[in-house]
Amino acid sequence: MIIRSFVLIFLFFLQSSAYAVEKREIDSIFKAKCMDCHSNETHLPWYAELPIAKQLITADINKGRSYFLFSRDFFQYENHEDIPKHVIKRLQHEIAHDYMPPYIYRFAHLDKIISQEEKQKILAFLNQQEESLLEPLPLKSELKLDSKKVALGKKLYHDTRLSHDNSLSCASCHDLAKGGTDQAISSTGINGQIGPINSPTTYNSVYNIRQFWDGRAQDLEEQAHGPVNNPGEMGSDWKEVIAKLKKDSELMQEFKEVYDTKKITGDMIANAIAEFEKSLITANSRFDAYLRGDKTVLSQSELKGYKLFEKHNCSSCHFGKAIGGRTFRKMGIAHDYFNDRKQGLNGLKAKAITEVDAGLFNQTHKEADIGVFKVPILRNIELSFPYLHDGSLNTLEQTVEVMAYYQNGTKIKKQERDLIVAFLKTLTDEDLK
């Protein structure tokens, strides 16, 4: 038994050492050929200070950083089990299709061309890591929640007293009967004020890496503070809200039972609402049934759509339990989405560029984050139309076409588009239909 254990440890050490050596070799290729545009450690050539050259090179670097940062997305992982699926998928896609470095960049920097030998080494390494990856896991309500707090939070989520004029509740913009949204281009606040951005779903929102399109809230509790105190949304404040709620003796008794105090605060209200929102996990889709082992629940068309979803690199952004919400991505990597939208090109409805279109930049003030948004959750996507942060697309068919073109640079075939849409509809929870 002792000898067998020693042999296993020795074999594991050899395997780990071989992996470490192999990864160092791959790292060295990436560092030599890719880091100038995909890191914060750029080594500029002597001509980078020339007026025209500087402008072009800076644009390339900013685009590269917004798309992929090696320090954040690859080098931080010590073991192959840690490298997320989306990172592997994205690198595989770019290297296999010779997208990186771009041809115009190779022409100017001959030393940055990835050789065929290096390409094969990278792909072999990535393929090896992918083999150890598990299929997507079915969603399940696994969070341990306080049932009394959830019940209180549900009442508050639907309570219009949270708004200044008692006309709006959280459910006004995040209607649970409408996929956790209001199915509007952008939400309407008090006094008929039209908001600047599309309302994201609250279903499965606990799985978001951060909250809001621009990630300005760390979690659901912080997010719950926002609308109440926003003059364009609920237009109130916690002092006003608490004064109204204190008149409700039954509700006050619930607060006392949950928080063991006669006083209520804005933090308590936000905490209870967040606890309720954590319960909004939709685990009853046909895709979940498929992942649990029912291989007959999806049609051949839907299964083909799932394969195409993977083939077209959709899963490199839309991954995780909620199939999205776990990363930030630039809108318009392959083509300039905002320029085309501004001019009404490629079937996009003409719309001026506004402050919210800056996305993550509004929080970080880093140029590379202009137009970067949290990747939306795809579960129940059939119900949460219209689509994108600007609510500019009404159908899944149009959205798949737009994403394929602006993110991957692909004009997707109608047949493939329809198959992907068929798959996306399997993500709808049966209880919401």
What is the Cα–Cα distance from 126 to 95, expressed in whole angstroms? 10
CATH code of the region 286-432:
1.10.760.10
User: Range with the lowest mean pLDDT among 16-25, 66-75, 293-302?
Assistant: 16-25
pLDDT at residue 83 in the model:
67
Annotated domain spans of the chain: 2-131, 147-278, 286-432
Does the structure show a pLDDT above 60 at 36?
A: yes
What rounded mean pLDDT belongs to the chain?
87
Mean pLDDT of 70-97: 68
Q: Regarding predicted confidence, which is higher, 5 or 85? A: 85
pLDDT at residue 394 in the model:
97
pLDDT at residue 9 in the model:
40
Mean pLDDT of 65-75: 71
pLDDT at residue 13 in the model:
40
Catalytic residues: 233
Give the model confidence (pLDDT) of 274-291 as tens digits: 999 999 999 999 999 999
Give the model confidence (pLDDT) of 251-270 as tens digits: 999 999 999 998 999 999 99
**Intrachain domains 147-278 and 286-432 with the same fold:** yes
CB under 8 A, 24+ apart: contacts of 108-113: 109/45, 112/33, 112/34, 112/36, 113/33
User: Range with the lowest mean pLDDT among 19-23, 55-59, 170-174, 287-291?
Assistant: 19-23
What is the Cα–Cα distance from 336 to 338, expressed in whole angstroms? 6
CA dihedral 302, 397, 391, 385 (to 10 degrees): -40
- When mean pLDDT is compared over 6-10, 19-23, 351-355, the highest value belongs to 351-355
pLDDT at residue 136 in the model:
65
| Element (DSSP H or E) covering residue 373 | strand 372-374
CB under 8 A, 24+ apart: contacts of 294-302: 298/426, 299/422, 301/419, 301/422, 302/419, 302/422, 302/423, 302/425, 302/426
Q: Taking a C-beta distance cutoff of 8 angstroms, is the pair 260, 236 a contact?
A: no
Give the model confidence (pLDDT) of 132-149 as tens digits: 444 567 787 778 999 999
pLDDT at residue 75 in the model:
67
SS3 (DSSP) at 58: helix
CATH code of the region 147-278:
1.10.760.10
Give the model confidence (pLDDT) of 366-407 as tens digits: 887 899 999 999 999 999 999 999 999 999 999 999 999 999
pLDDT at residue 374 in the model:
95
The rounded percent of the chain whose pLDDT value lies above 70 is: 88
Cis bond leading into 196, ω under 30°?
no
Mean pLDDT of 318-336: 89
**The one-letter amino acid at 208:** N
- Record the pTM: 0.79
The rounded percent of the chain whose pLDDT value lies above 90 is: 60
Does the structure show a pLDDT above 60 at 345?
A: yes
